[in-house]
A and B are shown apart, each in its own frame.
Chain A
Amino acid sequence: MNARSHAIRVGLRRGWTEFLISLRNPEDLAFYLMWGGGTVAYLLLNRNVVVEGTGLAFPTVALPGLIAAMTVFGATVGPAFSLVIEREDGTLLRAKAAPHGMSGYVAGQVVLQVLGVVPMLAVLLLPCALVLDGVMYQGAFGWFMLVVLILLGFTASMPIGLIIGSLARKPSHVSTWGMFPVIGLTLFSGIFGPVTNHPGWVQGVVQVFPTYWLGTAMRWAFLPDGAKAIELGGTWHTPMAVVVLLAWSVVGLLLAPRVLRRMARRESGSAVEARRQERMQRLG
């Protein structure tokens, strides 16, 4: 167990190194600027729209939900793509060859993906804070809850991402089974407008998944109490949100290690080589 915690510490440092590498990587920076910048532009273009029933500007109401959506997206799709790509290029096999290397690898992924939220938050929050009248109405408590909810969002979503990444055989599977479903859920989870705009069955479906609950909890953490008028039934649902997110966390943290172990057991030099050949053919 001591050796295992040593490997996890090695993995935490690995995550930090990978985060620094990603900050220097033009592709990752372009991703932050395009998605973050595009979202900010959309918000600021609608800054004079007032959300009915709250008296608040559209960007103020939408921002917490967008942070929630990006947290769930990053925590699910990020590790899923990492896992499938790094299984293909042999990174995972390297980890498997070292003592407790897989524990270190997963620890590194957690650090990398959680830290990956920080630049995105900066790109979203800084311009909005400068241009809008108000972003955070709950003061220090609200900022604290932002951090807590992001971490809760991660424990609820990241195991799903790791499971998708373990089951996917190639990156396009992650798009099909991870990225598109998450984007689809986001569209109907009350992030861009009240969830009551959608048919009842759609409301039922989105209430199974983390995005809706993290969104409503995030609005509770950011917005003045009056904003609850636009929530379902005109009230906050924070305790229920915490219960649902914790339930996802427990199920995910029970399942993910098993799925990861099963996936890792199958890794070998010839498995990597076979996927490499397959990839060569795919790319022509």
Chain B
Amino acid sequence: MGDAVITVRDLRMRYGTNDVLDGVDFEVLRGEVVTLLGPNGAGKTTTIEILEGFRDRSGGEVQVLGVDPVSAPEQWRAGVGIVLQSWRDHGKWRVRDLLAHLGAYYEPYGTPSRPRPRQVDELLATVGLAEAADQRVSRLSGGQRRRLDVAIGIVGRPEVLFLDEPTAGFDPEARREFHDIVHALVDLEDTTIVLTTHDLDEAEKLADRILILADGRIVADGSAAALARAASGKAQVTWSVGGQQYVHAADDATAYVRSLFAQYGDELTDLEVRRTTLEDTYMALVHRTEHGAARTRSAAETEGVR
């Protein structure tokens, strides 16, 4: 860790009169897993495609592996892995042949510490496709196909890997296996990973850091826990006394609960202390951005014991 693999300064993207990205700033360090989270149309895909060098931008500075992706030389591609949501390309190729073919492009770029490409049969085993190696790509199931997409993305042993909605359409088991692959890439090879997702649970499980993108800006940047603290800093305490239910947002939940016991003793029932979840944080932040900051803040301040 330490050096920045990705640097984005004041990134802007405008289609006609519509600002999709309106001054985005962030950095990603080597070996970090960063998730871009945000509602549809917030600019997640646009951002990741600019980082991949697949899209021109309207303004701002972008560096990936020390190079501007727009004008990057072809050798830059050897360090960048992209997991594409394939549809039906190479349907008549056999799985092993396709991986070997695409891997061959990376042969001139291997180093002793980063041999390229990855050995095909090992890679097939890693992504759980060993038994499908001789099958035609078109015969793969949806889940197998997505694993092949991941395998193709990492066949060149990239330093930085981009994934746009990688687990869309995965069942829970496939999703779990995919998470294991991502963790292995980071732990064993210090791969830097940027992914987009709709799935808050996935973001929380995978990411060292979450960037929430709303309305063309980064509205939050931090670990899931740090984001939750920053969003409200409060825990929600609910309880009942004499059949009446109460809610309170407490700064110091432990002290507050102690005072509740002191006040009500045995009359206190249904006590529950809930930390702000990433979902609460996300909803609050996105809502705040979309509906203007003032209204949400005043609503939060008036919230208390009912």
Residues on A lying within 8 angstroms of B by beta carbon are 2-4, 6-7, 10, 13-14, 17, 21, 25, 86, 89-91, 93-94, 96-101, 104, 265, 267-270, 272-273, 276
Contact = CB atoms under 8 A, between A and B. Distances in A.
A89 B88 contact: yes
A21 to B, nearest CB: 5
A98 B87 contact: no
Nearest to A272: B87
Nearest to B156: A98
B87 A13 contact: no
Interface string B139-159: 000000000000010001000
A94 B108 contact: no
A267 B88 CA distance: 16
Given A17-B101, A94-B152, A99 B74 contact: yes
Interface of B: 45-46, 49, 52, 54-56, 74-78, 80, 82, 84-93, 97, 101-102, 104-109, 152, 156, 164
Given A93-B84, A268-B54, A10 B105 contact: yes
Contact of A97 (B46, B77, B90, B101): B77
B90 A273 contact: no
Contacts of A21: 92-93
B149 to A, nearest CB: 10
B93 A17 contact: yes
21 contacts: A6-B107, A10-B105, A10-B107, A13-B101, A13-B104, A21-B92, A89-B89, A90-B86, A94-B90, A96-B54, A97-B52, A97-B77, A97-B84, A98-B102, A99-B75, A99-B76, A99-B105, A100-B77, A100-B105, A265-B56, A270-B45
Given A3-B75, A4-B74, A21-B93, A269 B85 contact: yes
Nearest to B79: A99
The 6 A-B residue pairs whose C-beta atoms are closest, nearest first, are A268-B54, A98-B105, A91-B89, A99-B77, A90-B89, A10-B104
B105 A89 contact: no
Nearest to B56: A265
Nearest to B54: A268
Nearest to A276: B87
Contacts of A90: 84, 86-89
Contact of B90 (A2, A91, A270): A91
A10 B78 CA distance: 15
A267 B102 contact: no
Contacts of B88: 89-90
A269 B49 contact: yes
B77 to A, nearest CB: 4
Contact of A101 (B45, B77, B164): B77
- Counting chain B CB atoms within 10 Å of each CB, the highest count among A2, A13, A101, A270 belongs to A270
- Counting chain B CB atoms within 10 Å of each CB, the highest count among A14, A89, A268, A269 belongs to A269
- Counting chain A CB atoms within 10 Å of each CB, the highest count among B76, B85, B109 belongs to B85
A9 to B, nearest CB: 9
A225 to B, nearest CB: 47
A21 B46 CA distance: 36
Given A98-B156, A99-B109, A272-B84, 13 more contacts: A6-B108, A13-B104, A89-B89, A93-B54, A94-B84, A99-B74, A99-B108, A101-B105, A265-B56, A268-B52, A268-B54, A269-B54, A273-B85
B89 A94 contact: yes
A17 B86 CA distance: 20
B164 A269 contact: yes
Nearest to A264: B54
A273 B48 CA distance: 15
A13 B103 CA distance: 13
Contacts of B74: 3-4, 99-100
Nearest to B165: A269
Contacts of B107: 6, 10
B137 to A, nearest CB: 11
A244 B91 CA distance: 39
Contacts of A273: 85
A104 B105 contact: yes
B87 A89 contact: yes
A268 B86 contact: no
Nearest to A265: B56
B82 to A, nearest CB: 5
B85 A2 contact: no
A241 to B, nearest CB: 38
B84 A267 contact: no
Contacts of B92: 21, 25
Nearest to B55: A268
Contacts of A25: 92
A2 B84 contact: no
A98 B106 contact: yes
A89 B85 CA distance: 11
Contacts of B76: 99
Contacts of A13: 101, 104
A11 B64 CA distance: 27
A273 B85 CA distance: 9
Nearest to A21: B92
A269 B93 contact: no
B87 A268 contact: no
B109 to A, nearest CB: 7
B285 to A, nearest CB: 25
